[in-house]
Structure 1
Amino acid sequence: MTVAGGIAFVTLSAAQDTGRTPATDTAGTEQTVPSRQITIWRDPSCGCCDAYAEYLEGNGYRVMRIDDPNFDRRSVEAGVPEQGLGCHLAKIDGYYVSGLVPAEIIERLMTEKPDITGITLPGMPANAPGMAPAKTGTLKTYAFGEDGVTVYADE
């Protein structure tokens, strides 16, 4: 059992083989370039979501913001564990990203293309992008999907 920010998760082995390859190579077609377009559903009164969107834009992403006071319900419907909700929900290249996940972790997700539904950084950690001018210290990000919840990054 892992505890992060007061939230307990039962984790599966991070070394679990999902059988999915990082990139699908189809004969006669170009390899897909990861998207730089990300959509964020957020509570319209959340200032950290705007700061986070600006952080992503500063890291080369094109961000579409959608006001959604029920983003938490949308998050659970997308598969984010209730006890692991972040302060907004985003989607990029078919993956859900919940919370203030650092850009380098999103980059890793887009490069590795694991067989998961998405990743989440639960809560609103004070040292996360959007809450602080820059990420400081370590942040524990979780992967979620059909196989349950695992630690995706602890950096």
Structure 2
Amino acid sequence: MQNVAAPLWLAGSLLLAASSAHAALPDSARLYKTPSCGCCETYARHLEARGIDVEVIDDQPIGQIKRAAGIPFGQGACHTVMMDGYVIEGHVPLAALEALFEQRPAIDGIGLAGMPQGTPGMPGPQLAPYDIYQFSDGQAAPFMTL
């Protein structure tokens, strides 16, 4: 009679490892914002609650930061985050950040235009799907919808 316990144990361990494998978010981020924006501070606290050390910078012209980062025209938001080689524009939900760092696509970054209600840092319930875009060279394309 074969010992099936060992192969079943091994298969279960591999399944558990595969289902719990998530890309770790970076340890640090730099968030650029205007001095008076409170929701940007709340987004920084959201990242810090996930173990990310956030440096908040509010003494540089945010428009210049966005242009240099290649944010597509009309797709901006109130803050821009630099994180492990990627640009994160706006109140991007955690699920999109996890997908970005799991997939690590060859793009400049991802963003969520405007300041949608219910996103991290913005009060209220989600009213519509969040269309997260990816961008490279100032051109936007769909990334995911949450």
What TM-score do you get using the length of structure 1 for normalisation?
Answer: 0.72
Residues 87 and 124, structure 1, Cα contact 8 Å, conserved in 2: yes
Confirm whether residue 47 of structure 1 aligns to residue 38 of structure 2.
yes
> Quick one: distance in 2 between partners of 1:55 and 1:90?
13
Q: Map 1:68-79 onto structure 2 (within 5 A).
A: 68=59, 70-79=61-70
> Quick one: distance in 2 between partners of 1:93 and 1:112?
13
Residues 72 and 138, structure 2, Cα contact 8 Å, conserved in 1: no
Q: Of residues 76, 82, 86 in structure 2, which corresponds to 1:85?
A: 76
Aligned-residue Cα RMSD (Å) equals 2.1
Secondary structure at the counterpart of residue 153 of structure 1: strand
What TM-score do you get using the length of structure 2 for normalisation?
Answer: 0.76
Confirm whether residue 103 of structure 1 aligns to residue 94 of structure 2.
yes
Higher strand fraction (1 or 2): 1
> Quick one: distance in 1 between partners of 2:136 and 2:70?
7
Cα offset for 1:82? 2.1
In the alignment, which residue of structure 1 is the partner of 2:104?
113
Secondary structure at the counterpart of residue 116 of structure 1: coil
Structure 2's unaligned 5+ residue stretches are 1-23
Higher helix fraction (1 or 2): 2
Cα offset for 1:106? 1.0
Report the structure number with the largest CA radius of gyration.
Answer: 2
Cα offset for 1:52? 0.6
> Quick one: distance in 1 between partners of 2:35 and 2:68?
20
In the alignment, which residue of structure 1 is the partner of 2:121?
130
Number of paired residues?
124
Secondary structure at the counterpart of residue 91 of structure 1: strand
Greater mean deviation of Cα atoms: 144-153 or 111-120: 144-153
Residues 99 and 120, structure 1, Cα contact 8 Å, conserved in 2: yes
For 2:37, the aligned partner's letter is C
% identical aligned pairs? 33
Secondary structure at the counterpart of residue 114 of structure 1: coil
Structure 1's unaligned 5+ residue stretches are 1-32
Q: Of residues 134, 142, 145 in structure 2, which corresponds to 1:151?
A: 142
Larger RCO (alpha carbons 8 Å, 6+ apart) = 1
In the alignment, which residue of structure 2 is the partner of 1:140?
131
Cα offset for 1:61? 1.3
> Quick one: distance in 1 between partners of 2:99 and 2:70?
20
Alignment CA distance shift 1:115-1:70 (3 Å): same
Cα offset for 1:91? 0.6
> Quick one: distance in 1 between partners of 2:111 and 2:62?
14
